[in-house]
Amino acid sequence: MLRKYKIREMLKNTKEYLISSRESNLRLSVAVSVGVFSGVIPIWGFQTILTIILSFVFRLNKIITITASNFSQPPVTPFIILGSFLLGGLFLNTDTVMFINTSNTNYELIKSNFLQYVLGSIVLAILLAVLSGITTYYFLHLFRGNKNDKI
């Protein structure tokens, strides 16, 4: 119950922060895109550091970027891993069904498919970043109207 309340409170605060921000809709949506991108790419343990560096380099809203990078928390992580693996299989033209149906996954199987996962996760990060940016821009435009859309 307490955890559910904290998540609702965090989402409410983030929504209020987005709507009341002085930054343009485009700039905020780019901040969300960069956060989602750096949250999905497979640099485990360094995602927040990359997010902070990118937000400084591109002069983006640090709070929004870091919040968006937390997209890949444990409830979503299995879907990100599976999606990454399947997308990598499409690009490398490999058999992904064998890996998914294997009940005794071992180190050798994971090691032999690591490139497929990494390639797929980079593609998934780009796709989710673009999708989240477009979605954020749409909703900001809907709720805030035409804010000064300069980058």
User: pLDDT tens, 38-53?
Assistant: 999 988 889 889 999 9
pLDDT (0 to 100) of residue 31 = 94
A 10 A CB-CB count for 116 gives: 22
The closest of 74, 76, 77, 36 to 55, measured between CA atoms, is 36
- In terms of pLDDT, which residue wins out, 56 or 74? 56
The whole-model pTM stands at 0.82
Residue 8, classified by CB atoms within 10 Å of its CB into exposed (0-12), middle (13-18) or buried (19+), is: exposed
**Between the CA of residue 62 and those of 13, 21, 52, 58, what are the distances in Å?**
15, 12, 7, 10
Are 48 and 84 contacting, i.e. CB atoms less than 8 angstroms apart?
no
pLDDT (0 to 100) of residue 148 = 63
Average model confidence (pLDDT) across the chain: 83
DSSP SS3 for 97: helix
Residue 1 has pLDDT above 50, yes or no: no
Mean of pLDDT values over 28-39: 94
Are 32 and 133 contacting, i.e. CB atoms less than 8 angstroms apart?
yes
The domain segmentation of the chain, as residue ranges, is 12-144
Best-predicted range by mean pLDDT (1-5, 60-64, 95-99, 130-134):
130-134
Distance CA 63, CA 75 (A): 22
Residue 58 has pLDDT above 60, yes or no: yes
Q: In the numeric block, which tokens belong to residue 107?
A: 């180190």
Residue pLDDT, tens place only, 108-129? 767 778 888 899 999 999 999 9
